[in-house]
Amino acid sequence: MASGAADSALETVDEAPSGENAGWERLERASRAAADALAEWRKRATEAEQEVQRLRTELEQLTSLGPLPSDEAGDELRRLRAENAVLTSRAAEARQRIIGLLARLTVLENRP
């Protein structure tokens, strides 16, 4: 008979009013959403920490070179870097033209 009382108590819990079930479901959805948001924030925080570490390492490397002797040297360095970028681009363009010319030459050589 004791088990009959326990069964009826379980049935009462299972047959809780729909408003109470809806409340639990809302709470469950909210807790899942909060857990998902927490996981996303943790991921973003980890990525940010990695970026900070990368930037610190780069900054340490730059400062280990020592300060530039003057503003003119900094300007010269920027000018040389820009010139290097232009020359690298021109070299890449020339490389593409050479590849095209070699392809055309191959076609012409294979003509009867």
pLDDT by position in tens, the chain (length 112): 444 544 444 444 455 557 788 888 988 999 999 999 999 999 999 999 999 999 889 888 877 776 656 777 778 888 889 999 999 999 999 999 999 998 888 888 887 6
Give CA–CA dist 67/65, Å, rounded: 7
Torsion on CA atoms 42, 46, 48, 51, rounded to nearest 10: -170
Q: Show the DSSP H helices in the chain as ranges.
A: 2-14, 18-64, 71-109
